[in-house]
Amino acid sequence: MDESSVHNPLIWGQGSGHANVRRKTPLSVTLAKWILKIAMLALFISWIALMFLFPADFVQKLFEKWIQATNGTIFGITGSLFLLFSGPILLIAVLSIAYLVISGEEELHEKKPSKYPSFRLWTFPVLVDGPFGVVSAAELIGILLFVVFVIWAVYAYTMSILSLMSDQLTFKEKSCLFLEILGLRFGLIGMFCLAFLFLPVARGSVLLRFIDIPFEHATRYHVWLGHLTMLLFTIHGLLYVVAWTIEGRLLHEILEWRDIGVAILPGVISLSAGLLMWVTSLPPVRKLNFELFFYTHQLYVIFIVFLALHVGDFIFTMAAGGIFIFILDRFLRFCQSRRVVDIISAKCLPCGTVELVLAKPENLRYNALSFVFLQVRELSWLQWHPFSVSSSPLDGKYHISVLIKVLGKWTEKLRGNILENSEKEIPFSPHSKITASVEGPYGHEIPYHLMYENLILVAGGIGISPFLAVLSDILHCVREGRPCRLRNILIVWAVKRSDELSLLSTIDMDSICPSFSSKLNLETCIYVTRESEPPLEEGKVQNTQDFSLCPTSKSCGMSVLVGTGHTIWSGLYVISSMVGFVISMGLLDIFYINPFHISSWWYKGLLFVVCMITSVVIFGGLVVGLWHLWERRILAKEQFEDDKLNIDKAEHKETVAREDSHLAKLSGIRYGARPDFKGMPP
């Protein structure tokens, strides 16, 4: 590292002469983006304030007036509640689409660097060692808001219930009435938390893209909200069970399925499914048997459908917005995963790690920090596994690479399948062809790794995979003169054995950017923890099975429907589905519910869920079909011949030779040691 980077913290931005990554936009576009941001912020604050203050008496009075004023409309109470509690988040999604569309692909210009540290609520760590893991300032604020809301709501509802208690009732009657009403209120609080539960797991949601939170980071919010929501629903059920037990009518109440009012039995089924998902998602169970957690989590369908049957349509609307956004994402992912993607090449490295190169269309955009969900149908039709991308989008227009470490049964089968196919005379013959289905890519759309002057990459074992993509991306940017502020890179990598060093053979820095050493200060600190000295012939690959398999002449690439796909098409998909839902509900009310006087709560709740699903499948599916045709038309114009990745045995030999030369040039390999971060320069 140079002297300036040693004496100054890495968070400081020193002038380097390189351009920083920042958007240069016209004044009109900037103004429009600010207006959209302010509108979305105002909507979000109003939405949060409505739910936060809902237990207050004055809000209850205003709410009753609103219901009375809108009760005679086409959509009735259901439409009123949907507009209040689900309308804001759906409108924010529409405005997010507009924001992403007008942002577009903008020019880059230099940003004057600042030598003062910047503070970001989303990334500044406040809690490091605790039950929530590393928590940023914004996350801590969110956690406190939910905790305060639950405490405040329970207190407000408890005081309100106590004021309703009549002295004419016996103690037993008072106790049962108190428990039942309090249980009802806990269920209402749980519905408010449920409104947020599905938002973080909508992987390709425009909301996550707008706030630039990758799915893998947002998953923790789903976990936190899941624990809180199920805790509230469990207390909701237990309070009713205690009250009915005291009254001696527990079995009768649990089995009751009334038309007018809350249907109890569907609620029992929904809560049972939720409890099963909750228990199997706890860390001890999930780590012991991940497949049990994965398969039981598919019970969310039962949980949602029977919840709608339990509470009816108008109460279900309180949480319908987030669920609808999740359905939008889930259907789009289903459509993308139907595409069978050819594996262009498959290679087993000496350490046992598998490298897969997948075909992709030129117009599918991704980031060096992206990841994909992969399914290999020859191994399993049900299992999907996430893997970090190990290639840079600048490595090639028509392929994307992933590195997979052999750890479990699925990865063992994958490696065995590749080794078996490699021994045949014609690799990937029609009877032995390996295909995959892919969801994604997901992750940050902004290349944050290019926005800093100093970069420290710390990894262990296969964790180097995304950093190989980052390093390749940086080298391409340096070679092509793209905006990149990086001057110093420190790689700290710990592996168990020296054969894992072969992972570095997947990137050839000299061929990407021969003159990178004059523009970039790259330092590597590699630790081989379980070997006290280097092998006799360091870097040589002997008696190992390392194969590269060729694809068929025509490769079927990934679909662009999810991830960082076309913003206009995804926006049309979301808007058409929303409009279709409103039309479906309107037609249902006009031609069925109102004329036939349908009044059963559970039945109307079921119709509401059916309208949500059919609007996405029919109206959204029409846009997806047009999107697919547009994609095929674009693909027909692409020329694959100039950029196809043809890997054969000869190239494999060159790879081995390149590995030898590359490993020979590595400096800073320490055997029998572990990283000492305290002894490293700041």
pLDDT tens digit string along 448-470? 778 778 888 888 888 888 888 88
* Stretch among 151-165, 409-423, 650-664 having the lowest mean pLDDT: 650-664
Q: Which DSSP category does 71 fall into? A: T
How many other β-carbons are positioned within 10 Å of the β-carbon of residue 225? Answer: 22
Q: State whether residue 306 is helix, strand or coil.
A: helix
Q: Which residues contact 45 (CB under 8 A, 6 or more apart)?
A: none
- Cβ-in-10-Å burial (0-12, 13-18, 19+) of 675 comes to middle
Q: Which of 75-84, 431-440, 576-585 has the highest mean pLDDT?
A: 576-585
Stronger pLDDT, 416 or 190, i.e. the higher one: 190
Q: Which DSSP category does 556 fall into? A: P
Q: Which of 270-274, 360-364, 397-401, 422-426 has the highest mean pLDDT?
A: 270-274
* Stretch among 14-23, 173-182, 257-266, 492-501 having the lowest mean pLDDT: 14-23
Whether the predicted pLDDT of 14 surpasses 90: no
Q: List Cα–Cα distances, 410 to 294, 404, 405, 658, in angstroms.
A: 15, 11, 11, 30
The model's confidence at residue 12, banded by pLDDT at 50, 70 and 90, is very low
- Cβ-in-10-Å burial (0-12, 13-18, 19+) of 681 comes to exposed
3-state helix, strand, coil in the chain (%, to 5): 55, 10, 35
Position 565 scores a pLDDT of: 58
Position 600 scores a pLDDT of: 93
* Stretch among 87-91, 305-309, 484-488, 609-613 having the lowest mean pLDDT: 484-488
Position 192 scores a pLDDT of: 95
Structure tokens at 296: 């039981």
How many other β-carbons are positioned within 10 Å of the β-carbon of residue 27? Answer: 7
pLDDT over 90 percentage in the chain: 33
Position 289 scores a pLDDT of: 85
Q: List Cα–Cα distances, 489 to 6, 395, 409, 492, in angstroms.
A: 12, 20, 36, 10
Residue range 277-288: average pLDDT? 91
Whether the predicted pLDDT of 606 surpasses 90: yes
Whether the predicted pLDDT of 119 surpasses 70: no
Tokens 């809301």, located at residue: 149
d(CA 28, CA 30): 5
The model's confidence at residue 146, banded by pLDDT at 50, 70 and 90, is very high
Q: Which residues contact 411 (CB under 8 A, 6 or more apart)?
A: 354, 404, 405
The model's confidence at residue 537, banded by pLDDT at 50, 70 and 90, is low
Q: Which DSSP category does 77 fall into? A: H
The model's confidence at residue 265, banded by pLDDT at 50, 70 and 90, is very high
Q: State whether residue 389 is helix, strand or coil.
A: strand
Summarize pLDDT for 468-482 with one digit per residue, the tens: 888 888 888 887 777
Stronger pLDDT, 356 or 559, i.e. the higher one: 356
Position 667 scores a pLDDT of: 54
Position 654 scores a pLDDT of: 41
Q: Is the dihedral of CA 364, 367, 371, 376 positive or negative?
A: positive
518 CA to centre of own chain:
38
Whether the predicted pLDDT of 182 surpasses 50: yes
Per the CB < 8 A criterion, the answer to whether 514 and 49 are in contact is no
Per the CB < 8 A criterion, the answer to whether 318 and 81 are in contact is yes
Residue range 384-407: average pLDDT? 84
Q: What is the average pLDDT value for the chain, to the nearest integer?
A: 80
- Per-position b or e across 508-522, b if 16+ CB within 10 A of its CB: bbeebbeebeeebbb
Residue range 295-312: average pLDDT? 95
Whether the predicted pLDDT of 550 surpasses 50: no
Question: What does pTM read for this prediction?
Answer: 0.85
Q: State whether residue 523 is helix, strand or coil.
A: strand
